[in-house]
Amino acid sequence: MKAMKVWAIILTCVFFASLTGFIITAAMTRDEIVRGFRNGVYFTIGDYRESAHDVSETFSDNFSHIEIAVVSARTTISISRDDKARVEYKGSNPAIEFTADIRNNTLVIHEKSRPMLFNWGWNSWGSGDLVVEIPAKEYGELKLSVTSGTTNAELHAANFTLDTLILKATSGNITLDLPGYANLQSFEIGATSGRLNVNGLSGRGRVKVTSGNVNLTYADWNDALDVEVTSGNVEIKTPQNSGADLDFSRSSGSLKYDLNGDNGKLTGSATLTVGGHNVRRVWVRVTSGSVSIIDN
């Protein structure tokens, strides 16, 4: 009985503390709630009396790497018209924490869920909108991570180049359009259950898919590719006259190829060379999914 009374007192205190915090926060002004963005951080999107607002910031171009991670925001990435980077977030969900700052030569943009003692129905407030503009120049690494949102990036500009690309999707969607002259040296792509569409690839590649769908288009077929699929689907498109030195292993999946008029389908583990003169090594490991490699 004594223990039950103690628990009742604890729960009552927690309830009134939470309720007090809710009332105090609801009484805060917008400037008090949305604060510190110019220092790289703000952590509630809108107050409880406004349905939405805009928060934006402009950064100089003194960075050569980009890291963007979103939980559920609808994200658009494009090339800016000058030498500045711009980040704009529109949303109304107080349970979202958002940061944008330059750290260690990297433009870091993160959206994540705030730890909340009680869920006051913030999830029903919907997803935010994130707009990122970056200047056209040489970049070392671009890292995109999407949990359940949608990301569309079109990075066509004469001076845009990129060494390394890393894409990760849990259950969201990513569409990335790179220029063929981006001179990509390496890329890594992972999908758990999302959908990824990437154009303008080149360099050494690694793809790992659990149950998602990945469509890749090469601008320059110039290095090896490693593909691992559990139960998803991967389609790879290469330029004309491409060839592949295939090393295929599987449990119950398949590999379809159509390169320079040489076509077929593998349903058992095999090694063979197919296609045109521009031959690159391709390792494919499939559990129960499917992989296709075709030329445009």
Domain containing residue 137: CATH number: 2.160.20
pLDDT of residue 12: 62
Using CA atoms, how far apart are residues 6 and 125, in angstroms rounded to an integer? Answer: 36
* Residues in the chain, pLDDT under 50: 14, 17-53, 117-118, 120-122, 124-125
Say what the pLDDT of residue 194 is. 86
Token digits for 253? 């999946």
Q: Is residue 8 part of a domain?
A: no
Instruction: Say if 15 falls within a structural domain.
Output: no
DSSP code at position 114: P
Backbone angles phi, psi at 203, to 5 degrees: 85, -175
How many domains does the chain contain in total?
A: 1
The backbone torsions φ and ψ at residue 5, rounded to the nearest 5 degrees and listed phi first, read -65, -40
* Token pair in block for residue 28: 């805060």
Q: What is the pLDDT of residue 9?
A: 59
Asked if the structure places residue 12 within a domain, the reply is no
CB atoms within 10 A of CB 149: 23
Q: Is residue 65 part of a domain?
A: yes
Nearest by Cα to 99 from 87, 109, 88, 86: 109
Report yes or no on 121 lying in a domain: yes
Alpha carbons 4 and 267: distance in angstroms, whole number: 63
Tokens of 235: 């389609």
118, two tokens: 């009680």
Coil, strand or helix: which one is 125? helix
CB atoms within 10 A of CB 253: 22
Q: What's the token pair of residue 50?
A: 């406004």
Burial (CB < 10 A; 0-12, 13-18, 19+), residue 193, is middle
Domain holding 194, by residue range, is: 36-295
Domain presence at residue 258: yes
- CA dist 79 and 86 (Å) reads 10
Per residue in 8-50, pLDDT tens? 555 565 455 444 444 444 443 333 333 333 333 333 333 332 3
Which residues partner with 99 through β-bridges? Answer: 41, 110
Amino acid symbol at 222: N
Do the domain assignments include residue 22?
A: no
Other C-beta atoms closer than 10 Å to the C-beta of 173 total 19
Helix, coil or strand: residue 229 = strand
Predicted TM-score (pTM) above 0.75: yes
Query: What six digits make up the tokens of 163?
Result: 């060494």
Q: What is the pLDDT of residue 95?
A: 62
* Residues in the chain, overall count: 296
> In this structure, which amino acid lies at residue 122?
W
| Structural domain contains residue 193 | yes
pLDDT for position 172: 84
Residue 40 has which token pair? 């790289």
Contact 151, 128 (CB under 8 A): no
